[in-house]
Structure 1
């Protein structure tokens, strides 16, 4: 059977006149979009326009909730009680649902952003609080998790649909978490390198870390960050490399882990 994989990108991160990334170009390449919900980035107009473009391009819509940290772009860690954290996620998923429906679409998946994602990749209870909150307002939504981390552990007994994700433009530690952005080489800007490593990871069914370690994992979707200057070129090269290696791009269906 021909192997398939989804290609997703974080987007909808502009704010008023401040433009972040080239969402229109990315939407011509990816199969799923993780759209900011106006808390770590984006605003109601940006959400509406991004949702409209996604529907028009038949790109799967995802809610991308993060910490309330516009200035830090959601990349600064915050400590919140799990009850409050759940409400924060519900608030953002609800906004995404409303905007998607107004645009003629639906929210298919939920993916945590930035520091919230990094923290939950190491804290199963925190991840579970976020996912239970999302499912409480969107019971049929697909939960996108960082493959091989505590996020994946957190969804094992929730009975929900799941998509396991790896990153095209980020380096990995040996525990399958992402190398901190403060470290050299944490973010990959070379499109050719990104394409080749994604084709290799999908072919091997494993995350390949900076040390060369292979971590076998299910891979349903590949992410790149829409705010990086090379996002469009990386997306195009990853798509080309996958296609040339015999992998077809297709939206994930989401099955339990």
Structure 2
């Protein structure tokens, strides 16, 4: 059993006149926020407002870096080389860091989004490029990646602190990968079932795979998807359940509960 757990959420995903999610509601119940940097969602004004919201809530701020895919919400794979992956990661970290600096705070972590996240989970070269960009920007940043995958391993090779991430509301395959979203049961819609999965991960370090096996899983942080229709309710229920189970909800490196 872990002694503490981070709850992170992907937020700041509105764009122009299009609004997604209840960011303020979610921020009341999580300890870390992964803010879209304009490549899969978000725009400069949304980035600014979301950073300010997170700073006021006392939530650790991270760059949610993505492939350049606004139309596909960053969920379509693209071929890219290591240099391109390095550059697009560094570019997005720098953009969000500017807003954090203006708000009197700083970035704490980096987490890839969508297709980039899943690609980096299995491709060591891509993972190394993301880790190198993160380290070159600020070696104190935490790199967040799928538990047990290539991305946290790349972060460790680069000398970064890493956070192995698990998902409350996603199904798992027997190899530890996430069930592809094209599958009908990839997302756990039922709040009670998702909370139960998160508790099993946090308390026992295990998760049931889609085929019924039990997978051992390290989790330093659990994701709450901000684009769920009931994201704020889910975040509140999950945070309360973890604290009732005796687990402080805290960002990596934090000294007090969020």
What is aligned with 1:133?
A: 133
The answer to whether residue 237 in structure 2 is matched with residue 237 in structure 1 is yes
C-alpha distance in 1 between matches for 2:147 and 2:30: 19
Shift of 1:230: 2.1
Q: Is the 8 A contact 1:111 1:143 kept in 2?
A: yes
What is aligned with 1:227?
A: 227
C-alpha distance in 1 between matches for 2:135 and 2:243: 34
Shift of 1:208: 3.1
Shift of 1:2: 8.4
Shift of 1:157: 2.0
C-alpha distance in 1 between matches for 2:106 and 2:227: 24
Residues 104-137 of structure 1 deviation map (CA, whole Å, 9 limit, x = unaligned): 1100000000000011111111111111112111
What is aligned with 2:71?
A: 71
What is aligned with 2:197?
A: 197
Q: Is the 8 A contact 2:171 2:188 kept in 1?
A: yes
What is aligned with 1:30?
A: 30
Q: Is the 8 A contact 2:20 2:227 kept in 1?
A: yes
C-alpha distance in 2 between matches for 1:202 and 1:93: 29
C-alpha distance in 1 between matches for 2:195 and 2:12: 24
What SS class does the counterpart of residue 34 from structure 1 fall into? strand
Shift of 1:148: 1.6
Aligned residues: 254
The answer to whether residue 96 in structure 2 is matched with residue 96 in structure 1 is yes
Shift of 1:152: 2.6
Normalising by structure 1, we get a TM-score of 0.95
C-alpha distance in 1 between matches for 2:203 and 2:2: 12
- Which stretch shifts more, 182-191 or 199-208? 199-208
Residues 14-69 of structure 1 deviation map (CA, whole Å, 9 limit, x = unaligned): 00110011101001111100000011110000000000011111000000000111
What SS class does the counterpart of residue 4 from structure 1 fall into? coil
C-alpha distance in 2 between matches for 1:66 and 1:223: 16
Uncovered stretches (5+) of structure 1, i.e. residues with no partner: none
Q: Is the 8 A contact 1:12 1:47 kept in 2?
A: yes
What is aligned with 1:248?
A: 248
Q: Where do 4+ consecutive residues of structure 1 move more than 6 Å?
A: none
Residues 68-117 of structure 1 deviation map (CA, whole Å, 9 limit, x = unaligned): 11010001111111101110000000001101111111000000000000
**How do 1:100-119 residues align onto structure 2 when only pairs under 5 Å count?**
100-119=100-119
Q: Is the 8 A contact 1:7 1:31 kept in 2?
A: yes
CA RMSD of aligned residues (A): 1.5
C-alpha distance in 2 between matches for 1:10 and 1:113: 9
Residues 123-158 of structure 1 deviation map (CA, whole Å, 9 limit, x = unaligned): 111111111112111221111111022223322322
What SS class does the counterpart of residue 79 from structure 2 fall into? coil
